[in-house]
Amino acid sequence: MAIAHVCMQCGRDLGRCRPLRDPYYHLPIVICPDCGYACVRQLHPILRLRRRELRLRVSLRVLTIQLLCLLLLALANWSGAEFLLDYISYSQPIAYLLHADPFVLVGSGLIIPLLTGIWLTVAFPHWKYGMQWVAWVLLIVILISLDPIVVPSIKHLIPNSAEAPWRSDVRFADAGSQLAAFGVMLAVSLTGILLGKMILLVYVQHRSILWCKRRTRLRKQRLGR
């Protein structure tokens, strides 16, 4: 119900009158029951400011969560690709698997790619033609290409770098091997599309049920039941 809506011809309060949607301009039209004067229902400035503030808060929260997910998943895929690269380049991969931490192994090879696929499907349903996957691949490629720049910078900034894992006698893998390891994780990430589609379907059905309940409750309130 509107806060205040006065008819400009007869002065009657139209706040309790239900607006009708115009079929051409799609504007809420209110017709005065006394004089038949038609006018457009407009939001009160207080309500307009409140709704704008709520939209801004929701947008900032969603943006913050998306940036955190992007940072965490990008770093997790980066480190997971390094772990898979160590497994691929190891001379005895079976022994490497037996001595590896099972949580790290399952997380790098299954959980992290699966969560990445679900996040890319659920968080960006409005992106068409799989552009979110193209952007994700470009991001990881950029991170891998920054290895020769970032690692020497960290080596000069942190003291006792001779004992660090990026010391000069460690052989770094080339970018092609890192991209191959990331390609394995990307293939596993594609399995998260099905789970993401299922989550989106459940979410849409839940929203439709809530809207149906809300419309039913408002209809009962208008009829005075």
Q: What is the 3-state secondary structure (H, E, C) of 78-121?
A: HHHHHHHHHHHHCCCHHHHHHHCCHHHHHHHHHHHHHHHHHHHH
Averaged confidence pLDDT in the chain: 76
**pLDDT tops 80 at residue 74:** yes
What total number of domains does the chain contain?
2
What was the pLDDT predicted at 64?
94
- Is 127 inside any structural domain? yes
What was the pLDDT predicted at 8?
84
Q: Are residues 102 and 196 in the same domain?
A: yes
Sign of CA dihedral 181, 183, 184, 186: positive
Q: Are residues 102 and 156 in the same domain?
A: yes
- Is 202 inside any structural domain? yes
What pLDDT, in 10s, does the model give residues 121-138?
A: 888 888 887 788 888 888
The percent of residues above 90 in pLDDT, for the chain, comes to 8
Q: How many angstroms separate the CA atoms of 132 and 13, rounded? A: 51
Q: Rounded to the nearest 5°, which phi and psi values hold at 61?
A: -65, -45
The per-residue DSSP string of 126-188 comes to T--TTHHHHHHHHHHHHHHHTHHHHHHHHHHHSSSGGGSTT-TTSPPPPHHHHHHHHHHHHHH
Q: How confident is the model at residue 57 (pLDDT cuts 50, 70, 90)?
A: very high
Q: Pick the residue with more confidence: 164 or 224? A: 224
Q: Are residues 163 and 65 in the same domain?
A: yes
Q: How confident is the model at residue 60 (pLDDT cuts 50, 70, 90)?
A: very high
Lowest mean pLDDT among 9-18, 99-108, 137-146, 211-220: 99-108
Range of the domain at 190: 46-207
- Is 213 inside any structural domain? no
**pLDDT tops 70 at residue 101:** no
Q: Are residues 81 and 62 in the same domain?
A: yes
Q: Are residues 61 and 37 in the same domain?
A: no
Q: Are residues 178 and 102 in the same domain?
A: yes
Alpha carbon of 11 to those of 29, 33, 35, 133: distances in Å? 17, 12, 10, 58
Q: Which amino acid is at 88?
A: I
What pLDDT, in 10s, does the model give residues 2-43?
A: 567 788 888 888 878 888 888 888 788 888 888 888 888 877
Give the CA count within 13 Å in the CB-facing half-sphere of 125: 12
Q: Are residues 95 and 116 in the same domain?
A: yes
What was the pLDDT predicted at 96?
55
Alpha carbon of 149 to those of 3, 152, 222: distances in Å? 61, 6, 66
Q: What is the mean pLDDT of residues 206-211?
A: 90
Q: Are residues 118 and 18 in the same domain?
A: no
- Is 176 inside any structural domain? yes
Q: How many angstroms separate the CA atoms of 159 and 150, rounded? A: 16
